[in-house]
Amino acid sequence: MRKKTRGVYASKMKRATHMLFYRRHQKPGVKGWELHKALGVDYPKVLEILDDYLKALDLQVKTVFEEEKTPTKKPSIDELDKARFYITLRGDLTPKETKMIGWRIDDLAGLAVTVAHIISKNGQSPRKDVEKLLGEKLPGWKVGLNLDRYIRYGYLQQDDNNQLYLDWRTRAEVDEKALINLLLRSETQTTLPYEDADEENNEANEEDSEQ
């Protein structure tokens, strides 16, 4: 890359960093069309370079397609203009780091169950159904408080009909596919011992019958 070109990209990357890190709207992050206007048509390349620089800090530039489904192939500039871009963690928080930001393990578990449930219901669910589900996992007095907290922090949104949807923060911070796979593995590991126990009981019953 020539010196002049490097200087141009360095200037654009600095501008992109300012736009992504400093909140200017009700929602954090920046819309693609804003970056397009400020940085030019090559803003995806600028974000790619910035993302590479952020690896050392365990951060990344996350692209969230809010209005349309995530493109199955390389998104066009028009599709990127409609997306929103965030700076998020590249890796995972440790349990100690999670406690430092004020989240208890059961609060996170409740959020994971809620998000997974809404995903399984095609992106929306009545609040009463989620409350019933969380009531099986959390003390009753915490259910409403936790749901209100998830809404307040931007993980969920609720409409006038008490329908719950995933909000911007879930789309920006949560790998939905990885979450579902994790919960499925956890469920399998939980149920397998019972299945093994049933098999052992059946074998013992068969031996008793033979005797």
**Tens-place pLDDT, residues 158-204:** 999 999 999 988 888 887 777 777 767 766 554 444 444 444 444 44
Looking at residue 146, its amino acid is N
- Partnered with residue 163 across adjacent β-strands are 126
Looking at residue 114, its amino acid is T
Q: What angle do CA 48, 53, 56 make, to 5 degrees?
A: 135
Looking at residue 130, its amino acid is V
Mean pLDDT by 10 residues, the chain (211 residues): 68 92 78 94 94 92 77 85 90 71 82 91 93 90 93 92 91 78 64 43 45 37
Q: What angle do CA 8, 12, 14 make, to 5 degrees?
A: 120
Return the pLDDT at 199: 47
Return the pLDDT at 158: 95
Domain ranges of the chain: 3-91, 96-173
Return the pLDDT at 5: 67
Return the pLDDT at 6: 67
Return the pLDDT at 200: 44
Please, is 133 exposed, middle or buried when counting C-beta atoms within 10 Å of its C-beta (0-12, 13-18, 19+)?
A: middle
Class for domain 96-173, per CATH? mainly alpha
